[in-house]
């Protein structure tokens, strides 16, 4: 298959050869992912990988397949073909629950926070800790252990070093966009996840708020998470990412180490692909 061989070539041999074999320490690796929506071939044999302690940027023009790939990774779409490997072990992702069980979490662009609840409640939403000793009641009617919930929330927030957030009892509705993004990330991280996908986390934010979120992303890298960062903003990508994976027309163009490339090169790859690679494959 032509596209598949192109992407494989691009993946293993970016224009400047990778000095380290990033491939063998990949935490999550998918290969040969195909996804059809009716007659539309949205993903055509995409390979993708991310390692622990690494921020992998995923870029591409609109319609390149970024969102589809992300949803496939999160189990929201099931791939038509392709394999998943987690730490070298082949795994199966047949739905959001499978992905969550494997520690793959996604922070959607709309964040999905409950503005009427406080930070602690949002962080534990759907998995509220209950007090022991009420086993005679159905789980849904046991008293919530709100102290444990607050301690958990505080730990998650501290881990991400969100310094502007004064109290985990503040209602989310009163927080800034950056704080909300941080809380949504904290929720994803708190669920014992190892892979965190961020969909355009800075799209709606101002300068200071963006800085806050980028700090949180760097913090995730320090804590050994595998971060997948989807964005259109080259400046953010070049500040925060370790590698950049470019998709075009549902297939890989190539993956670069961020320090070895320039925004111009990435933009060209996004819009025109790699002339050389295409030429070689063809």
Partner 1 sequence: MQDSAFLGMSDRLRILRQSRFGAFAPVLFALAAIWGYFGLALPLWDYLTTPEAQNLRLIFLSPRNIYNLFMQSAVIATLAVGITVVLLLGDIDLSAAATAGVCAALLGVLVLAGLPGWAACVIVIAVGAVMGAAQGMLIAYVGIPSFVVTLAGLLGFQGLMQKILPTGNLNIDDPFLRGISRILVPDMLGLAIAALIVAGMIALSLRRQHRRREAGLEQDSPIAVWGQIAMVATLLFGAVLTLNAYRSVPLLILLLVAITAALGWVTTSTPFGRSIFAVGGNAESARRVGMNVRRIRVAAFAIVGIMAAVGGIFGASRYGSVSYTAFAGGSLLLESIGAAVIGGTSLFGGRGSVWNAILGALVIGSLGNGLDLSGASAADKLMFSGAILLLAVALDAVSRPAGQGR
User: Applying CB under 8 A, which of residues 110, 135, 264, 282 lies at the interface with partner 1?
Assistant: 110
User: Applying CB under 8 A, which of residues 38, 126, 132, 282 lies at the interface with partner 1?
Assistant: 126
Residue 150 found at the interface with partner 1 (CB under 8 A): yes
* Separation CA 127–CA 267 (nearest Å): 42
Residue 205 found at the interface with partner 1 (CB under 8 A): no
Q: Least distance to partner 1 from the beta carbon of 262, Å?
A: 37
Residue 203 found at the interface with partner 1 (CB under 8 A): no
**183 in Cβ contact with 124 (< 8 Å):** no
- Backbone dihedral region of 86: left (phi > 0), alpha (psi from -120 to 50 degrees) or beta? beta
Residue 130 found at the interface with partner 1 (CB under 8 A): yes
Strand order in the sheet with 81-86: 40-51, 26-37, 81-86, 89-91
Residue 116 found at the interface with partner 1 (CB under 8 A): yes
Helices (H), the chain: 2-12, 66-74, 96-101, 119-123, 146-160, 177-190, 207-222, 234-240, 263-272, 275-281
Residue 147 found at the interface with partner 1 (CB under 8 A): yes
Residue 144 found at the interface with partner 1 (CB under 8 A): yes
Write each residue from 18 to 57 as x if it is in contact with partner 1 (CB under 8 A), else as -, in one continuous string.
----------------------------------------
Residue 171 found at the interface with partner 1 (CB under 8 A): yes
**215 in Cβ contact with 225 (< 8 Å):** no
**């061989």: which residue's tokens?**
5
Q: Least distance to partner 1 from the beta carbon of 153, Å?
A: 10
Binding part of the chain for partner 1, among 3-11, 28-36, 138-146, 260-268 by CB under 8 A, reads: 138-146
Binding part of the chain for partner 1, among 6-14, 44-52, 161-169, 234-242 by CB under 8 A, reads: 161-169
* Separation CA 32–CA 44 (nearest Å): 8
Q: Which two tokens stand for residue 29?
A: 């690796």
Residue 208 found at the interface with partner 1 (CB under 8 A): no
User: Applying CB under 8 A, which of residues 87, 101, 115, 280 lies at the interface with partner 1?
Assistant: 115
Residue 215 found at the interface with partner 1 (CB under 8 A): no
Non-local (6+) Cβ contacts of 275 within 8 A are none
| Binding residues for partner 1, total number by CB under 8 A | 36
CA nearest 13: which of 282, 252, 262, 266? Answer: 252
Residue 170 found at the interface with partner 1 (CB under 8 A): yes
164 versus 259: smaller Cβ distance to partner 1 = 164
Q: Least distance to partner 1 from the beta carbon of 163, Å?
A: 12
Q: Least distance to partner 1 from the beta carbon of 91, Å?
A: 20
Q: Tell me the C-alpha to C-alpha distance, in Å, between residue 101 and each of 55, 104, 195, 216.
A: 21, 7, 11, 23
Rg (CA), the chain: 20
Please give the residue ranges that form the binding site for partner 1 (CB under 8 A).
Answer: 97, 108, 110, 112-117, 121, 125-128, 130, 139-144, 146-147, 150-151, 154, 164, 166-167, 169-171, 173-176
């Amino acid at each position: 298959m032509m596209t598949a061989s192109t992407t494989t070539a691009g993946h293993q041999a970016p224009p400047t050869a990778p000095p380290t074999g990033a491939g063998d320490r990949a935490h999550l690796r998918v290969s040969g992912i195909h996804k059809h929506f009716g007659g539309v071939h949205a993903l055509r044999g995409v390979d993708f990988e991310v390692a622990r302690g690494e921020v992998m940027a995923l870029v591409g023009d609109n319609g390149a397949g970024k969102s589809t790939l992300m949803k496939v990774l999160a189990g929201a779409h099931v791939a038509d073909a392709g394999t998943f490997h987690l730490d070298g072990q082949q795994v199966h992702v047949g739905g959001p629950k499978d992905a969550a069980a494997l520690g793959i979490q996604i922070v959607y662009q709309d964040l999905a926070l409950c503005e009427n609840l406080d930070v602690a409640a949002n962080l534990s939403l759907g998995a509220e800790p209950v007090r022991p000793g009420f086993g005679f009641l159905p789980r849904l009617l046991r008293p919530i252990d709100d102290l444990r919930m607050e301690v958990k929330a505080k730990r998650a927030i501290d881990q991400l070093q969100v310094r502007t957030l004064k109290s985990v009892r503040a209602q989310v509705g009163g927080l800034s966009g950056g704080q909300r993004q941080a809380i949504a990330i904290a929720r994803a991280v708190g669920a014992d996840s190892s892979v965190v996908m961020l969909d355009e986390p800075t799209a709606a934010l101002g300068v200071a708020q963006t800085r806050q979120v980028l700090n949180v992303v760097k913090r995730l890298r320090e804590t050994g998470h595998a971060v997948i960062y989807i964005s259109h903003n080259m400046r953010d990508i070049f500040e925060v990412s370790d590698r950049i994976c470019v998709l075009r027309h549902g297939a890989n163009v190539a993956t670069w180490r961020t320090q070895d490339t320039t925004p111009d090169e990435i933009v060209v790859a996004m819009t025109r692909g790699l002339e050389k690679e295409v030429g070689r494959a063809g």
